[in-house]
Structure 1
Amino acid sequence: MSLYNLLLVELGCPWCHRRAACEVEFKLGLLDLRTYRLGDTLRWAGGHGNEPLRRPDEGCAESEGYTVCPHCERDFWVRVEIRNDLILAVTADPGRQGYIA
């Protein structure tokens, strides 16, 4: 089983263009199924073998995430931006194909 974290955020769906509260799965920081929101501090260490190899310089990183629109039920990828350990932004990545046809 692969571990990840969740990010609760309001996003515009690239398919139906409606805004909705989404649960984004992402793999960055300590992977312990923790739930985050924009502005939260990402936790990098302190787990049981699920720690990242190392914290990036100054706690700055970009990661991908995955979600499903609750309106049209189509999936899409997002980019998650971390600066100084804070989760600052999440944007849809319409150029990347999802899993659901």
Structure 2
Amino acid sequence: MTTTDKKKFFIALFSVLISLLISCNGRGHFYTLKIIPSGDGWGYEIRINNRSYIHQPFIPAVEGNLPFSDKKTARKTGRIVIEKLKDNQPPGLTKEEIDKILKEN
């Protein structure tokens, strides 16, 4: 292996390690968010270590089974839930939190 090849190898290895560190929290949990179609709108699914943890086809904390009207709002809501999980908080959202998310979009 030449010096240039070794440098390329170590740069690639370092990049992979940094990516893993960024995507994993201290407990080694790997969170993924998937936006899913739901009726006439969108929902989200949160997976932890590639296992379904939360399947949310409708807007939480809102009466009725209403999907999100756009992917952006579903994604933003799912990201907030993931942040709560990473902070060891319950993943539930209040009506006030949902109202704030919906008003911002």
Shared fold (TM-score, shorter chain, > 0.5): no
If the length of structure 2 is used for normalisation, what is the TM-score?
0.29
If the length of structure 1 is used for normalisation, what is the TM-score?
0.30
Q: Looking at CA atoms only, which structure, 1 or 2, has the larger radius of gyration?
A: 2
Higher strand share: 1
Higher helix share: 2
